[in-house]
Each structure stands twice: as C-alpha cells, then as structure tokens.
Amino acid sequence: MKKLDKAIIWPIYFDVARTRKDGRRVAKSLAVQMPKIDELKLAVDRLGLKNEVRLEAHFPKRPWIKSGMLLVEKKEAKEKIIVKIAKQLIRIKNVQANNMPKKS
C-alpha cells in the first residue's frame, strides 16, 4: 500500500475511558472498554479492508505504551472508516461478553 492509500488507526481512538483530548475519535456510544490491536484487526478484516499491523508502534501522546497500530486501506474518508470499525468492535465485544463463563 502506498502512504496515501492507507489510514493509521490506533486502539485509543475507540477507548471509552479516554477523552477526546486524550485521543478518542468516536462518540462514547461507539467506544468500547480497552480495545486491543487484535480486536481492531478482526474488525477491519470483517470489513474486508486490506491492513497491516505494526505491533511496536506507540501512540504519540502515550510513547511509554506500545499499543500497536493498524495501517488500513483507505477507500473513503478516515472518519467513516473509524465509525465502521467502531461498530464492528462493539459487535466483537458483545460476542466476547456473551461467551464469557458466568460467575456463580
């Protein structure tokens, strides 16, 4: 992928615990708790977008944490891609929550 053909997607964009100032890019209603890079990858794969994972990357505002990032094929505006990924993440997190064993 050429540089112009991809969007950089960070897990912090979807973290409900973060403020917009900290880096969250979606509304709280579209955010999830502690999104992981593998969940982002799964969401992007489900959308059928080509992507690359960079595990050693760290978000510029939090250089002490290597959260990883995704380079995603950019077929439309980055904000639209982010919203679509957020909706997929919600589905993934809901499935994970439903598959968790219940505590007695």
Q: How many Cβ atoms are within 10 Å of 62's Cβ, its own excluded?
A: 14
Question: What are the structural domains, with CATH classification, of the chain?
Answer: 3-99 (3.30.56.30)
pTM of the model: 0.85
The per-residue pLDDT for 60 is 77
Strands 69-73 and 51-54, bridge-based pairing: antiparallel
Taking only the tens place, the pLDDT of each residue in 52-72 is: 999 888 887 887 778 889 999
Report whether 35 contacts 56 (CB < 8 A): no
